[in-house]
Amino acid sequence: MMFSLADLVSVSASSQWILTFSWLLFCKHVEGGRTDSVRTISAAPGDDVILPCRLDSEEDLQDYFLEWTKLEMNPDPSGRRFVYLYRSRKTMTRFMMETFIQRVSLNPDGLKRGDVTLKIRNVTLQDKGTYRCYIHGLDHRETVQLLVGEQKNKPIIAAPGDDVILPCRLDSEEDLQDHIVEWTKVEIEPDPSGRRFVYLYLNRKTMTNLMMETFIQRVSLNPDGLKRGDVTLKIRNVTLQDEGKYSCFIPGKKFRETVQLLVEPNGVRAPTMETSQFNISTPDPGGEQNNIMSSYMILGLCIVVGVFLSSIFSAVCIHQRRRKKFQKLHLRRHPISLKLCFNNQRSSEKMRLQLNYDLSPTWNSLI
């Protein structure tokens, strides 16, 4: 049966509306998949840096497949291309680039709460570039830009809840375990109990009795760092009140460094290695892109099917309307008189009712 131009326009308009709406959703999905805001971390050669990557939830990731890669970087001579690879609860060093193996790590406790932030120790100028974190199974990815250069008095930018690193190290790798190390916050008064140190190291001990209460449970030095002239301070779970200028001082060396910490509500969230013999195939370098394309193909297929079903539904509705139209039209053109006689038992008269009933000769062919 042929459709009129108006019917075709009706179907076209309906399908076009659905297609347009679906296309907008598709474009938003594509935009959402591509919106991978790049966070920038700045460091100087020799710094330890934190490349943040965490879920919004605190899902346990110990049984997931995690990877850190450096974009636009070819595999090393042995074919290894990962900065860090975690699978089956192990660090897969056999697939990691040699230059990173001894310098990178995840926080085991962080894995239990959806945090796969990567720590790179002793960064070099060659480490600068774009790094990507990817969690297989959750299709979660984050990108971080690492800038490495000689920068003095560079601020550390963090968001509330981050773990931050305040760098302080000697040019030499002298053992500082027997030295006094002081960390203070400049232009801040001692707390009510008279304590004024953010961190104090003396006689190979952390002197908590002289440290400000608000920092005691959140600050630490790296014991291994102390052995090589590094007294970098880590502050966990920073707050807006932690913002300010911090001073590191080693009295025995007359060495002092100052670090500015900026804590912004909408700032960048910042922040055990085992060699595995587990035999796995190296994941396809394009695996992440393939996952994205697969999701797009599935969504595109859903759109096509939706438009197709919508067109069929519209066609069925039009067909039913045309049947009703044909019925009314032919009933008017082909009347058939039917006489029905009704006898009234109480009256001798006969009532005759003549009804015009229309039956089209072509009606049977339409049914």
Kindly state the tokens that stand for 102.
Answer: 């001894």
Q: For residue 280, is it within any domain?
A: no
Same domain, 244 and 327: no
Whether the pLDDT of residue 133 is over 90: the answer is yes
pLDDT of residue 350: 46
Chain segment 225-267, per-residue pLDDT in tens? 898 888 999 999 999 999 999 999 999 988 988 899 999 886 5
Amino acid making up residue 223: P
User: Is 20 exposed, middle or buried, given 0-12, 13-18 or 19+ CB atoms closer than 10 A?
Assistant: exposed
Q: Which two tokens stand for residue 203?
A: 């006689």
What pTM does this model have?
A: 0.41
- Report CA-CA distances (Å) from 218 to 160, 227, 314: 13, 22, 65
* Dist CA 216 CA 235 (whole Å): 10
The per-residue pLDDT for 152 is: 55
Q: What is the pLDDT of residue 33?
A: 40
pLDDT for the residue numbered 305: 67
Q: Which helix (H) or strand (E) holds 213?
A: helix 213-216
362 assigned to some structural domain: yes
Do 48 and 147 have their domain in common?
yes
> How many domains does the chain contain in total?
3
Decide if 274 is inside a domain. Answer: no
Residue 184: HSE in the Cβ half-sphere, 13 Å Cα cutoff = 14
Residues of the chain with pLDDT > 70, as a percent, come to 66
What confidence score (pLDDT) does residue 265 get? 80
Express each pLDDT in 15-66 by its tens digit. Answer: 555 555 555 454 444 433 434 567 888 888 888 888 999 888 888 888 899 9
Q: Which of 211, 244, 263 is the last residue of a domain?
A: 263
Pair (214, 307) in one structural domain: no
In a domain, 289, yes or no: no
Torsion angles phi and psi, residue 292, rounded to 5: -65, -45
- What confidence score (pLDDT) does residue 326 get? 66
Specify the pLDDT at position 191. 80
pLDDT of residue 177: 92
Its domain, for residue 100, covers 36-153
**Antiparallel, parallel or unpaired: β 38-43 and 140-148:** parallel
The stretch 294-310 carries a mean pLDDT of 66
Q: 139 and 76 in one domain?
A: yes
Please check whether residue 114 is in contact with residue 61, taking contact to mean a CB–CB distance below 8 angstroms: yes
Q: Tell me, what's the pLDDT at 137?
A: 86
Residue 270 included in any domain? no
Predicted confidence at residue 327, as pLDDT, reads 64
Share of the chain above pLDDT 90, in %: 27
* Shared-domain flag, residues 109 and 169: no
Identify the domain boundary among 153, 171, 201. Answer: 153
Residue 288, in any domain of the structure = no
The mean of the pLDDT values for the chain is 74
Q: Give CA–CA dist 338/340, Å, rounded.
A: 6
Q: How high is the pLDDT of residue 356?
A: 45
Q: What is the CATH number of the domain that holds 107?
A: 2.60.40.10
Q: Which residues contact 206 (CB under 8 A, 6 or more apart)?
A: 199, 200, 220, 221
What type of residue sits at position 288? E
